[in-house]
Amino acid sequence: MPAEPLILSGKPVAKSLKQELQTRVTRLAERGVQPGLAAVLVGENPASQVYVASKERQARKLGLKSVVYKLPADTSQAQVLQLIEELNRDSSIHGILVQLPLPAQLDSDIILNSVDPDKDVDGFHPWNMGLLALGKPAFVPCTPAGILAILKHYGISTVGKHVVILGRSRIVGTPLALLLSRKSEHGNATVTICHSVTTDLAYHTRQADILIAAIGKPHMITAEMVKEGVVVVDVGINRVPDSEQEKGYRLVGDVNFAAVAPKTTAITPVPGGVGPMTITMLLANTITAAERLSGY
């Protein structure tokens, strides 16, 4: 019988990181600084509303100031840019996040580029992306940072490993590839990035020592697509209809967990794997921003 895989739960990782963050918040409070996070939410996207409410709740729990700006769906680009300009100048705000996706009339590139890079706690500004590409200290997008924190917590080394990443979004796949391939203790991997135009996806996934799926397709990764002993990180959060659930749906990952887990040595669950890490890393970035901006 093969050994049971290690379940890479994000909850204990998030919990232990939050204890460290609490210490940093207390230290800032002793100097009269309260880290401030502003979220800009345009429109009524239900998932975005849930995410922003959760970010606000967790920020407050940790002692951060948290302000949510809820703007109507027909808000103009000029109005959003004006609000961001005000937040850039507000010394009580250290982190600004613009919840994506934005309504169609808004240009998300222009809006994200208007955030002060020193307050860009989502790490989406080209300045921070550029620093990341150069291997310099930068605000790292929260989901990739959370994935690295999980691997570190469970003692899974990426050094010399072949990591295959499915997805090349600027939120997950692209920054993750930069982090994992860079010359560092928690990088130094050989990285393959796959996407929707990749030919013979299964050939690539079977090469992976560590497979990271961030594509947004429920249960797309099957047992035949992975080799024995692989480590799997499933970033996908997909709603599938389920009449037995009160909400009428349940959340599943991009990986068919039941089929794939027996072939793995370690695997993240969905929900409860990468998910809990993303907001934790957002709080970490906000506290870092407050430390830097207050000269700590």
Binding site for ligand NDP (CB under 6 A): 143, 166-169, 171-173, 194-198, 201, 214-217, 235-238, 274-275, 278
116, 120, 122, 209: the catalytic one is: 122
Name which of 83 and 279 has its Cβ closer to ligand NDP: 279
Q: How far apart are CA 86 and CA 93, in angstroms?
A: 10
55 in catalytic set: yes
Minimal distance, residue 62 CB to ligand NDP, in Å:
18
First to last CA, the chain: 53
Name which of 114 and 205 has its Cβ closer to ligand NDP: 205
Q: How far apart are CA 123 and CA 287, in angstroms?
A: 14
Minimal distance, residue 82 CB to ligand NDP, in Å:
27
- Residue 228 in contact with residue 250, Cβ under 8 Å? no
122 in catalytic set: yes
Minimal distance, residue 26 CB to ligand NDP, in Å:
27
DSSP 269-284: -TTTSSHHHHHHHHHH
Residue nearest to ligand NDP (CB): 169
Name which of 83 and 150 has its Cβ closer to ligand NDP: 150
34 in catalytic set: no
Minimal distance, residue 73 CB to ligand NDP, in Å:
21
Minimal distance, residue 253 CB to ligand NDP, in Å:
8
55, 119, 161, 263: the catalytic one is: 55
Helices (H), the chain: 11-30, 46-61, 77-89, 108-113, 126-134, 142-153, 173-181, 201-205, 257-260, 275-293
Residues ≥6 apart with Cβ < 8 Å to 252: 218, 219, 236, 238, 240, 270
Name which of 119 and 219 has its Cβ closer to ligand NDP: 219
Residues ≥6 apart with Cβ < 8 Å to 15: none
Q: How far apart are CA 287 and CA 105, in angstroms?
A: 32
Name which of 74 and 109 has its Cβ closer to ligand NDP: 109
58, 99, 161, 254: the catalytic one is: 99
Query: How many residues belong to the chain?
Result: 296
* Catalytic sites, residue numbers: 55, 99, 122
